Amino acid sequence: MVQDDARSIFADATRAARRKFEYWQKKGIPGPRPWPLVGVFVQTMKMGLGFYDLWAIQQFGKIFGYFDGSRPILAVSDPDMLRSILVKDFPQFINRRNLDINGPLLEQSVTVLHGQKWKDVRSALVPTFTSGRLKQMNGLINECCDNLVSNLGKKADADEEFECQSLFRTVTMDVIASTFFGTKIDSQNDPKNEFTKNAKEAFDFTNFNPVLIIFFLFPWAMPLAKKLGLQIISKEKLDFFVANTKEIIRMRSESNVVRNDFIQLMMRSMNAPDKNEKKPVETTTEVQNADDSQGSDIISHNLSVGSGQEKSLSHANYKLTLDEVVAQAVIFFLAGFETSATALTFLTYCLAVEQTIQDKLRQSIEEVMQDLEEPTFESIAQMHYLDACVNEALRMYPPVSRTERECNEDWEYKGLKIAKGTVISIPIYAIQRDEEFWPNPDVYDPERFSYENKQKIKPYTFNTFGQGPRNCIGMRFAYYEIKMVMVHILRNFRILPSAKTEIPLQLKDTGFMAPKNGAWVKLQRL
């Protein structure tokens, strides 16, 4: 009798699971066959997220359904549908999936906030990343780059090959510590300092995080995981940055010290006088920055800061709380140093392998620099071939291989009905390696992004920094930092392949793209 009951329960559970996994099939949407309990988790981890997406698109097309554990996910790489999701019907897709594993502090960061709260915080942060603010940071970034050139000179003189990502992490960490916190940590020469140590450990996603495994495979266990204090970045590491950020704010508030860094800019929002509460205006159409002389193509749209959508949000007079300032500072630091270092790593690798492109880039930089000793905001803006080289590296090797949106009400697109709560996965890496959009996608060719050719790029096929009102708020800072570092390197050194340089480069993708065995190069003084 007990055995019969057990068999009955097991049979019922099996039928329920089978019905759940028929979700996309019933909607007529193709997709990979899920495994019981885990969905496509095992295959995704084995192949890597971006590589799995590329394979799935080739097998099932540009719209397919799959399962994260038992949760149905719709993957969309169709550019026209992406336009509707990311811009045209943005209010229905304003949120990202709530992972609920960030901890109470990071739940207040602009990257994970939802709805009106996201609009309010984003509106308060937009003025922090204007052209004028970046100009104020120029001296701080140049100082970090000068330190880099000095250290690279020692490697060049010793004919020493080195791994790019570990080096660039120290550079971007110095830049962000200086420009965000007004703090000099000199991790290039002191890699064991506390800032460097805690940041590297906090953002170590070289392997899949066990908290993410619990979230994807056993969502019913998340309440217990939260009670146990489990979160994607350990509380111990976060507490270090929280304590330092609060101390900086306290000291400046008490001593009236003012610095040209991002903490100061956010403090101004925190201390802004009360005004009539004006809510941000939702933008549902694409609005091009009037100052953008590059035209209305997608690349110009991405590279223009303060797009029409952001300007519409920037009219609010929202005051940040202390915890919100701390949350933004911490997430900008932790996310910014790693992704920028990854972008620099892949760009350096591409230039080492493609010497002709490197020579052309160096010449184009010198034509702009002429008698300038160090790059300025204005000179960087004139380096159009540098734009192309950076964008092509970001196309081939986006630091983040996927992004997501969540449908917050029932929605229909060309007869396809999407239910409220459905998560939309946008496979950035796969789209940017799709030969339909990018002929010879595995070839590094900056000419794709020349002024003449970028007009031909299909909109919504270059998504490294996202699209629409919820694109990466730090995009312009990241571009500027990457370009500044590369100008300093190329004016002083030739980048060369070394004995350890892999051709082609092997990749590891846990959601964050990285060289599997490191990207190795060496330098020669000019």
Specify binding-site residues for heme: 472
Which residue, 311, 315, 320, 323, is CA-closest to 276?
Answer: 315
**Cα separation of 484 and 163, whole Å?**
20
Reported as type and span, the H/E element at residue 267 is helix 262-270
Helix 164-181 to helix 194-202 angle (10° resolution) is 110
DSSP secondary structure string for all residues of 194-215: HHHHHHHHHT--SS--HHHHHH
Q: Which two tokens stand for residue 291?
A: 């100052």
DSSP secondary structure string for all residues of 129-198: GSHHHHHHHHHHHHHHHHHHHHHHHHHHHTT--EEHHHHHHHHHHHHHHHHHH-----TTT-TTSHHHHH
Contact 140, 264 (CB under 8 A): no
Distance CA 430, CA 50 (A): 6
Determine phi and psi for 458, rounding to 5 degrees. Answer: -65, 125
Residue stretches of the annotated binding site? 472
Q: How many helices (H) and strands (E) does the chain have?
A: 23, 11
Q: Which of 289, 282, 306, 264 is nearest to 473 (CA)?
A: 306
